[in-house]
Amino acid sequence: MASAAANSWDVFVVGGGPAGLATAIAARRHGLKVVVADGAVPPIDKPCGEGLMPDGVVALHNLGITIPEGIAYPFRGIRFLDNGASAEAVFPRGTAYGIRRTHLHRALWDHAAACGIRMLSQAAVTGLHPEGALLAGELVRARWVVGADGTGSRVRHWAALDQCEFDTPLDTGSHPNHEKSLRFAFRRHYRIAPWTRFMELHWGLHSQVYVTPVSHHEVCVALISSTPKSRLRIEDGLAEFPELWTRLEGAEHASSERGAITITRRLRRVYRGHTVLVGDASGGVDAITGEGLCLAFRQAALLGDCLASRDLARYQWGHRRLSRRPALMARMMLFMGRHSQLRARTMRVFQSSPRSFAGMLAMHVGEGSARDYISNGIALGWELLKA
For the chain, the structural domain boundaries read 2-50+100-170+264-331, 182-261, 340-386
Q: What share of the chain is helix, strand, coil (3-state, %, to 5)?
A: 40, 30, 30
pLDDT for residue 26 is more than 80: yes
Confidence of residue 354 (pLDDT cuts 50, 70, 90): confident
Q: How many CB atoms lie within 10 A of CB 116?
A: 9
pLDDT confidence of residue 151:
92
Q: Provide φ and ψ at 99, rounded to 5°.
A: -145, 130
Burial of 163 (0-12, 13-18, 19+ CB in 10 A): exposed
CA distances from 36 to 112, 275, 278, 280, 306 (A): 9, 14, 14, 17, 18
Q: Which amino acid is at 192?
A: I
Give the C-alpha separation, 171 to 154, whole Å. Answer: 28
Q: What digits encode the pLDDT tens for the residues 60-116?
A: 999 999 998 899 999 999 999 999 999 999 999 999 999 999 999 999 999 999 999
pTM for this entry: 0.91
CATH architecture of 182-261: 2-Layer Sandwich (3.30)
pLDDT at position 377 over 80: no
- Considering the four listed CATH numbers 1.10.645.10, 3.40.605.10, 3.50.50.60, 1.10.1200.10, the one that applies to the domain covering 2-50+100-170+264-331 is 3.50.50.60
Mean pLDDT of the region 221-245:
83
Residue 171 has pLDDT above 50, yes or no: no
DSSP state of 226: S
